[in-house]
Structure 1
């Protein structure tokens, strides 16, 4: 192993960068004023939609600033009435800090005279929950245009953190309106999507007006004096003054810039508890809290803070917090940022308790630094362009500091010196990394003696499969006659769950049922013939079944993760383009929108495929063939992929082209005539089932009354039947999925489910997988006991995973399976409790689950493989529930 770890070095370097930029704070609204791409087409036509359009030539795609295309603007259909809510909607592609909106009317080279005299803004961070923007005084209407040609630029105070924005024209009289729009801001790379906190309080001082420390711009809900589900003044980029009774805004009340609490009024034993939720898992390095310290008025920065971490929203809080003691300052009353180190803890949600040091505690801004976050720049924040586009933007105005801002303190030379030092360190680090890589390559050429200690397993004709996580290792000379022959290419390394399992003697002690045949091969391999019958562990380990050299394992997710389907034998020695039945799609018509995940040699992207419905023609599996472009998932092989990975990728294409079922993701087309190799598969607009259900509640009168997203019990049963149907189809082809879970089930708008295999490659679900000796990852909470202990994957082990998937569905994915057990305890539970009189810990019965359905789940978790139902039986058992 190479003595230097380049990733560790890069982490240290990134920490230096974060420390050097700590004084900059978060986004400054005065500088975050960059055009986001309406005028220059970086925002594509497909991202611009509208509630209606007058003609095709006045559609939403023509609502671009300073553009005269079409008939010169977007125009909603018919006369706009005062009660109408027509809108132009823009998808910015990523969370964005929106600070300015510019509008024009329809000029159309002096032939048009329609414009909006006023408008409102609605926005959404997830495309589901929409909020109405209001300024700091509570007004929602923004002054618009007075003619069709002049531009009107309006600053948005407070700024909006959003991905989707709707511009809604407003009129007092029935009239025709048209609009052209540009949006300005910069990326919200911090990723914070909501914070929760106690409601701010009032300060009453004798002889002085009341000061109000409430969060007046909070866009979430206020229930029982607690704010939740939104963002507000703590993320608006406005830093409070030293004197908390003064404000940077005009015509606002005393204390406006701060959210504050009194120690003796919360009843929380001297602390304020806040929760922060982010768009994805992040590796947090620090938290910065701008706090007032006007101690003469009983206000101080917090004395200490403890933060707990949650890797996923449905997971439990990790027991070990990060605690930080603040150095209190009783001589300098200035407000200041307090930087709290978070020790690179990984989480999607944080809960922090801030402890009082005096009577009052007040915050004006809270920001987070993480290693996954793109570092902010001083002058030119990056616009939300697509990954393949590099754009240089220009601010729309030149901003001069206001008189209320503090003057430059002369630290610029120090900052420049720090940056120069960091650049020199970066050059040294790059040199060390390159040198280390060179040394590692030399060392890899040396004899790999460690392979002698690895366990190798031959693929047999039994119907279960050894699924391997590393490339094949060529057989070594000198092996005994019982070992593999040099000509057999189907031997691969298996890394068991614990080093003690690599010793056959220890394995005999661990699993007594294997004691008579510990040296026998471990019943693996793909299906030799489609009609091969399944076998129990005893049968597999006590039979002398023949070996099939033709058996192959095709990694259907091998290039984009560690997962794979196990499939029947293939006679694929060398694949060429003529072996691939899928049509070649024009690569330039794929517009990359978002990276969904990645693996060792490949990536999965969410893309828009322009003209795909017409390209596929009649018989297309796409549900809507009228739209010009559709969302698709694109698996792409990276340039550094090995020849083996390239061949596996082509095999994956050939195998997926065989799958044709309404509940299985379909391969639509490919791009293989040139590099990088790509395959294009379906993608559902409702995302994966785990995320869909976790954001919903069971249907009830309360959910209807409060417009809470909900699902019915009938919906859950329908989803279960569809998954059973898709798995029945895979089982009929002797396919073993090996990673069935709600994260691998995608939904369209009609709640049609298609089983996929993207889950493992997505960082969002990394906590669902257990890493073995730093090499492979396994979804152990969904795996049957024989898969965990013996490395055997069969249709019967997929049935076990189906039972866990049903459990997820009927808990609405609010909890991870065996959430009270650690990964190590889950592994111990499969062995110890099976061996000790069958006393295994099973999942509890979900409250929403009918008793007969939970009994079906329990049958899926039977220890004896033949006692588990088949997918055909599961499908037939579930169908009557849907019709009830």
Structure 2
């Protein structure tokens, strides 16, 4: 039926001279042996008969597949490498296990893909949400085809099996794509910006799939969305995909941030080429201040070591009132290995979605014929990639695409009739499936979603609390039984029918949840740094006041009694003149308070007078304030919020103003005399730690020689000690962060770290949070088991999150925690911690992580709270480890 659809498309469309990238899905030669044995290598092999040459899809040669030596451990990195000898545009990967005529049963349930364009710099493929791990096979025989979105442009491909438990792995693969005839190996350009209208972000126009690195706000050394084959829609706020953010298909720049009125881009190619034409797909949404560029100028470099030619190729672009448009620029048969182009603004915004190059090395597309296996043909099935000038809807066909040889008119008519009948039947089947799916979904919505294999999620009764008396601790509950509640709902609700009792917690688990050694403030003192007196309810079991953080998530949780003592004091920062703030860029947006209370804008502000004004306001010298004080972050509260939201905002200001530590983002000032209410905090120029590390490699001779951004293990340890120091300070005040992760740690100069909470408000990290039935969102991959199952947020749950944060750092943030598990499987794994039967899954040790540091992580992930170290212990240990490496 799918073949009929394809044939119908080809027959009705007629002969075309150009190919759509949606059909760039040709097998590259694993099955038909176009790729010879010597171009397929591996890190290891179990036996000679399971060598890499046998990793060919749908073949049973040798012992039936490639199998790496020994049992594959979770921390192992074994790979199958394929050399394609030239650049290919790769859109699809097919995998299969070892069947061996029903005698084998090994297969890879998950795998990763690394790729390289030159064999030296290796990159890890990630999907649109930043996930690296791809779901593989569920049995040894069936083929699983996976679309690579975004696609890969590379010469070398590595398939890396992934497992969570030790097991035998065997694989067969095929790679699908077509020749990358552009020859473009990298482009360099300014970083994309955010389109803001009326104080709200309309579109995020960054190159989110760029595989190079960011340096001084310029993307260098990679390829990304401008070469993914997807042309943006007329409305740049919309996308072909439903799982991405607004503006995803475009990269855009604002004119007022450009010093010279143009965007400069440099393109590097695999070899010198004779260029005939460049095609740029632009957005032309004039109503939004977006136009195609006014004119372009291009310089050429004939060889990599040569200088730029003095003669420029320039072209003025005629104005056009249409929307998205493909602009053709004649390159006049100029020869070059690199091209430097400037695109001049015609309006406030310039947006590109694709850039193509044509040179005299391009050849016409041959008719592709798929020969039967019995012919034994070893001819290449490659088809050169030629760019289309018009956008066609991207279509996915899970099989090899071929074009039949010449057909008579009569046979064409028969095929058309047959295909039309097949289409009608297919539509009927689809309608039936949709109706059935809707019926099932309605049935499923009646009952709460099941998370664990057990009958229900459990948590302690809401009315439980502890009272300390000397060294004794008594546990009181108004209802001693466990109750079924909505999974992960932090608000207790009454069941609609009698509840079935669940197995009670063990004494160790009960102790771990209800007790622990915490610093407890003495409310009789003038400072919140002291401990509680006896007979005062423990803060973790009393009413916890959740404070909205700088971007709207729950940054801190503070005991109500401590809040009362703190909010009786005046705000310790002064009123800053509102007219000295200059809006520069929106950083994020989030919800604040209840009802209609929202964070309106998070802004980076600057101005010529702000530096002096801010320093005078803070009564500080420029040497005391080293993080560029002309840039600050401002949180604004929408004027028409509820009284409760307004009071919460003021309460947060009073408490956060008391936080003064070199590793905590500092509140600098407020604007509360009139609406909108604002709080002004520090802004760190180097961004968050997640992006900072993910754009770097571990330092080596190669990174130094090639000027690739890198870090040392000592740098990672130094940053870790600062995070522990900041958390130690928060713990001394009984502050619970609740969202500690690298995305919430900001980086300054010389690897300085300050803890904040910018993560939840940024679209970039939406995949790190799990939404509960459209309501609350939780960072479950960083949360302790008792926080997920029992709703307990304590300093010990922050210690668990610190262990995950350290794991992120020693992976250089290249992988999301538990990336091989779905969100539901992560929650199921917390149930294994609750049951404590030894089946729980931990994060595995990373190659960069020293063994003592990983041992510390494992202690942070102890099942019982009392077995976890304190922040003071962690900080002292990390300082000792850092000193030992100096």
With normalisation by structure 1, the TM-score equals 0.47
Name which structure has the greater RCO, CA cutoff 8 Å, separation 6+: 2
With normalisation by structure 2, the TM-score equals 0.47
